[in-house]
């Protein structure tokens, strides 16, 4: 019977997304659909799925892997101080301030419940009301391809706080009010263990990538070693296993895994373990028993209002950064809660502070938020301007070569700014292109002008010494791409090679002219394509996981473009119709310039 229930769950996990695609169900996140399917198949209705040891173990692994992947989604750059030219508050400050409002409202809602006599344990109730279902939030953001956008990162960080802080608070509450002899200070062991593992594996992890092969998959083995180690330590000190899983995800993220590693872990999680968790969460619900209990039914709407009321102050805070519809959508999405509610209720039962009736009411109210909130989120959300982000290009050196480049790039998906430290050239070109005059090109001046706040920096000075000095500063500032001009290559050979070894893209106008002339002789149409006003040769990078694994013949726009090369790793691949794309691939193609903007927006969207 155990194998039959497992077979039904796995078949349901396979069939659910297929049916959603067949009937064009887009407003409901897949995770929520799986909970509903579990309710239908479980105790509440059909009874085809009966919980057993195997399914419960897989369900536990599902939530652990889900929280681990949630930890890997955290963008730690969000915690750095950020300056916004539009004067809007940064992602991290907004998320922390927003979660502070949730804590205040959760305490208020719990106090009201105590005041009207429905539930008297204020702190425990506040912990539950302050939770956010990180897994459901991530699933909703992934399907909207928002994880890399300011809105998505704000919601992600807010949801992470809504999972981790209540988790720590629950563990402390359990230790203080329970009969365990463990000290609360033992919780520090799991954080110390996470720091130790991070320091221990930071350098060896780079070596793993060099010796790894398909039959060893060292990166995946390391990931599960981290999960099991921190989960075991968490349980040993009296904490919940999902706290260890989340810290393991953060450690793995800080190790800077390859895109392929993240993709494999995501495939394992969302392809097997996580659907089982969501389906079994629904299958373990017994709605029939709940509906027979009048006290439970009366408590459900009150708790449901409480879950939404606890997030009420988010709306005015999110309005300071996002448009009205999206602020409302974000508020509704963070009202989703389920992942931590179930283990919290188990803790409450063990402490004797919550009855079975009250536990059932909390659970059903949480499940309803998982169904209603994501649907409302998908209904209200509309694309922000930040969702179509222009590539920021800063060019240092105003001359006859760079000014036309600025004029041409500004017409596309590029935000281009030109800088010069020559007052004469500033007066000459400031009416033709956006030029900023710098007093010099020293580190304090460049930092004050936010020159390094760019995706690409082009060093186009005729003075190689200045280009070399600024290139080193840009490397220290970790600018993603640096392009530097070095015409007198022989005189600066050592520096040329030094910069190239660190990833700086060095160009030489003499060599470029030679290459162009040779191309003109060998392939006359190449220059015509480059100079054409409607067609051109372009390059896009595959950052969107939606396109990873797709064959070239199935790509959108494939009938309108001609793919000549795919640059993967450190080598070129001749593409065929059945060539599969990988994350990080550089696609080199020719086509209509009018389409490149939309293609970049889709393919280079980090998701």
Q: Tokens 């794309």 label which residue?
A: 581
Q: Which residues contact 380 (CB under 8 A, 6 or more apart)?
A: 325, 326, 328, 329, 332
DSSP single-letter state for residue 270: I
Q: Tell me the fold of 2-180+272-384.
A: Na+/H+ antiporter like fold (1.20.1530)
Question: 369 with 29: CB under 8 angstroms?
Answer: no
Q: CATH 3.40.50.720 region(s) of the chain?
A: 391-515
Write out the H or E segment, with its range, that includes residue 565.
Answer: strand 562-568
Q: Which residues contact 549 (CB under 8 A, 6 or more apart)?
A: 580, 581
172: its two tokens: 């402390």
CA–CA dist 38, 62 (Å, integer): 14
DSSP single-letter state for residue 571: E
Question: 578 with 602: CB under 8 angstroms?
Answer: no
- Residue 490: its pLDDT value, please? 54
Question: 224 with 549: CB under 8 angstroms?
Answer: no
- Residue 104: its pLDDT value, please? 92
pLDDT per position as a tens digit, 101-150: 999 999 999 998 888 888 888 888 899 889 888 777 877 887 777 777 77
DSSP single-letter state for residue 271: I
Please say whether the dihedral angle defined by the alpha carbons of residues 164, 167, 172 and 173, taken in this order, is positive or negative: positive
- Residue 108: its pLDDT value, please? 93
Distances (CA, A) of 313 to 209, 439, 478, 540: 46, 46, 37, 41
What parts of the chain have a pLDDT lower than 50? 85, 387, 491-492
590: its two tokens: 């020719």
Crossing angle of helices 259-268 and 218-236, rounded to 10°: 60
Q: CATH 1.20.1530.20 region(s) of the chain?
A: 2-180+272-384
DSSP single-letter state for residue 412: T
Look at domain 391-515 and name its CATH class.
Answer: alpha beta
- DSSP letters, 32-70, are HHHHHHHHHHSTTTT------HHHHHHHHHHHHHHHHHH
Q: CATH 3.30.70.1450 region(s) of the chain?
A: 529-603
pTM: 0.64
The Cβ-side half-sphere exposure at 391, using a 13 Å CA radius, reads 23
Three-state secondary structure call for residue 217 = coil
CA–CA dist 90, 84 (Å, integer): 7
What's the CATH number for 529-603? 3.30.70.1450
Q: Tokens 């809602």 label which residue?
A: 109
């Amino acid at each position: 019977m155990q194998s039959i229930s497992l077979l039904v769950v796995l078949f349901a996990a396979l069939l659910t997304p297929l049916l959603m695609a067949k009937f064009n169900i887009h407003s409901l996140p897949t995770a929520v659909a799986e909970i509903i399917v579990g309710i239908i198949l479980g105790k509440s209705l059909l009874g085809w799925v009966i919980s057993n040891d195997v399914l419960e173990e897989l369900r536990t692994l599902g939530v652990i892997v889900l929280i681990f992947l949630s930890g890997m989604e955290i963008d730690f750059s969000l915690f750095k101080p950020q300056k916004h030219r539009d004067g809007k508050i940064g992602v991290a400050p907004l998320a922390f301030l927003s979660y502070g409002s949730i804590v205040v409202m959760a305490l208020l809602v719990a106090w009201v419940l105590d005041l009207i006599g429905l539930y008297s344990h204020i702190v425990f109730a506040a912990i539950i009301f302050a939770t956010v279902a990180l897994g459901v939030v991530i699933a909703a953001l992934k399907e909207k391809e928002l994880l890399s956008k300011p809105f998505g990162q704000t919601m992600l960080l807010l949801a992470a706080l809504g999972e981790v802080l209540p988790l720590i608070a629950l563990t402390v509450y359990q230790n203080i009010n329970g009969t365990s002899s463990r000290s609360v200070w033992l919780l520090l062991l799991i954080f110390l263990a996470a720091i130790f593992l991070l320091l221990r594996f930071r350098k060896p992890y780079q070596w793993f990538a060099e010796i790894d092969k398909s039959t060893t998959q060292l990166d995946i083995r390391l990931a599960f070693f981290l999960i099991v180690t921190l989960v075991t330590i968490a349980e040993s000190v009296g904490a919940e296993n999902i706290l260890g899983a989340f810290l393991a995800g953060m450690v793995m993220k800080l190790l800077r895994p390859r895109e392929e590693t993240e993709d494999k872990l995501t495939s394992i999680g969302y392809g097997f373990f996580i659907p089982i968790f969501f389906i079994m969460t629904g299958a373990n619900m017994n709605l029939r028993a709940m509906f027979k209990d009048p006290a439970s039914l009366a408590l459900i709407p009150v708790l449901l209002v409480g879950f939404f009321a606890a997030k009420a102050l988010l709306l005015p805070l999110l309005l300071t950064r996002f448009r009205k519809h999206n602020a409302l959508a974000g508020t509704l999405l963070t009202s989703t809660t389920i992942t931590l509610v179930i283990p919290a209720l188990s803790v409450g039962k063990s402490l004797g502070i919550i009855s079975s009736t009250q536990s059932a009411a909390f659970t059903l109210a949480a499940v309803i938020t998982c169904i209603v909130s994501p649907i409302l989120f998908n209904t209200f959300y509309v694309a922000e301007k930040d969702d179509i982000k222009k590539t920021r290009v800063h060019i240092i050196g105003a001359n006859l070569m760079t000014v036309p480049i600025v004029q041409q790039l500004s017409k596309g998906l590029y935000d281009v700014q030109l800088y010069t430290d020559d007052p004469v050239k500033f007066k000459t070109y400031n009416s033709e292109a956006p030029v900023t005059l710098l007093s010099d090109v020293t580190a304090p001046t460049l930092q004050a002008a936010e020159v390094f706040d760019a995706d690409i920096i082009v060093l186009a000075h005729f003075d190689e010494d200045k280009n070399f000095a600024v290139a080193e500063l840009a490397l220290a500032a970790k600018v993603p791409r640096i392009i530097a001009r070095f015409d007198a290559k022989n005189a600066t050979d050592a520096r040329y090679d030094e910069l190239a070894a660190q990833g700086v893209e060095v160009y030489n106008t003499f060599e470029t002219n030679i290459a162009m002339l040779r191309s003109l002789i060998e392939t006359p149409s190449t220059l015509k394509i480059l100079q054409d006003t409607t067609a051109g040769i372009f390059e896009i990078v595959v950052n969107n996981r939606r396109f990873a694994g797709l064959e070239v013949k199935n790509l959108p726009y494939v009938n309108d473009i001609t793919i000549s090369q795919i640059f993967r790793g450190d080598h070129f691949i001749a593409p065929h119709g059945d060539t599969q794309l990988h994350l990080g691939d550089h696609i080199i193609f020719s086509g209509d310039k009018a389409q490149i903007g939309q293609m970049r927006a889709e393919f280079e969207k980090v998701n």
